[in-house]
Amino acid sequence: MNSCILENQQSGKLDGRVAIVTGSPKGIGAAIAKHLALAGASTVINYLSSQQDADRVVNDIASRGGKAISIQADVREEADIKCLFVRVKTAYGRIDILVNNAGVYEFRSIENVTVEHYHKHFSVNVLGLILCSREAVKYFDRVTNGAITGSAAVDAVTVVLARELGPRKIRVNAIRLGTTIAESSRAAGLIGSSFEAQIIAQTPFDRLAQSDDIARAAVFLASDDFAWVSGESLRVYGGSVN
């Protein structure tokens, strides 16, 4: 995966705002955090166990003139989530943007799916998203035009939350990822496989997505450029119809 390349054209879109990116010590989450920081947001790098990776992202952002801190929290645990948001409020005085990036993706054939495997995925990918969003709303009530974004799209939750939170001037949108070069796709053995070649062949740009491609979309969703859009799932597929 290429390193995150920050572009000056995004500078200033999110000046003065504070963003939490869950599960962001590396990969797509780290790229999103870096791009949000470039756009002017004070950014929180949330991690479960990879403090060294999280601090590396913080240092990278700081070296480019941005603001960031790292905070450990398990998005499956209510107490951890509450502590995360309290610490962010204490550090920055406000919270404006939540990116529900934390996710678990372990691909198995149906014969190998277990109850434990299911609960592991649901607890992070769905319950974690809901719990973090619920906590964020408590803080967004004090600001206008808060934004909740998920890079692991749960379409039904996005639509329902957008309708419920719209009157509070909180937007909720999701990013629907195409196949992206990241830790999960490497761990699954996708990169370098014949399946990767098949996917690339179906993509007009003749490549897989990079983390930066997803990060730029996240900045767009969180910014005022998207102020009249809520409840949508943005396809970031590089033109592929699949």
Per-residue pLDDT tens digits of the chain, which is 242 residues long: 333 333 333 457 899 999 999 999 999 999 999 999 999 999 999 999 999 999 999 999 999 999 999 999 999 999 999 999 999 999 999 999 999 999 877 777 788 888 888 888 888 888 999 999 999 999 986 554 566 776 675 788 899 999 999 999 999 999 987 766 666 656 555 666 676 677 777 787 877 778 898 999 999 999 999 999 999 999 887 777 66
Alpha-carbon distance of 170 to 131, in angstroms, equals 16
H helix or E strand, kind and range, residue 56:
helix 51-63
Q: How many residues does the chain have?
A: 242
Q: What is the pTM of this model?
A: 0.86
CATH of the domain at 35: 3.40.50.720
Residue 185 maps to a domain = no
Using alpha carbons, select from 95, 101, 121, 90 the residue that is nearest to residue 47.
Answer: 101
Alpha-carbon distance of 52 to 81, in angstroms, equals 20
Domain count, the chain: 1
Residue type, 173: N
Structural domain including 26 reads: 13-180+210-235
pLDDT of residue 5: 33
Residue with tokens 């645990």: 77
Angle at 182 between CA 16 and CA 104, to 5 degrees: 85
Output b/e per residue, 194-233; b: 16+ Cβ within 10 A: eebeebeeebeeeebbbbbbbbbbbbbbbbeebeeebbbe
pLDDT of residue 189: 58
Residue 195 maps to a domain = no
Residue 242 maps to a domain = no
Residue 197 maps to a domain = no
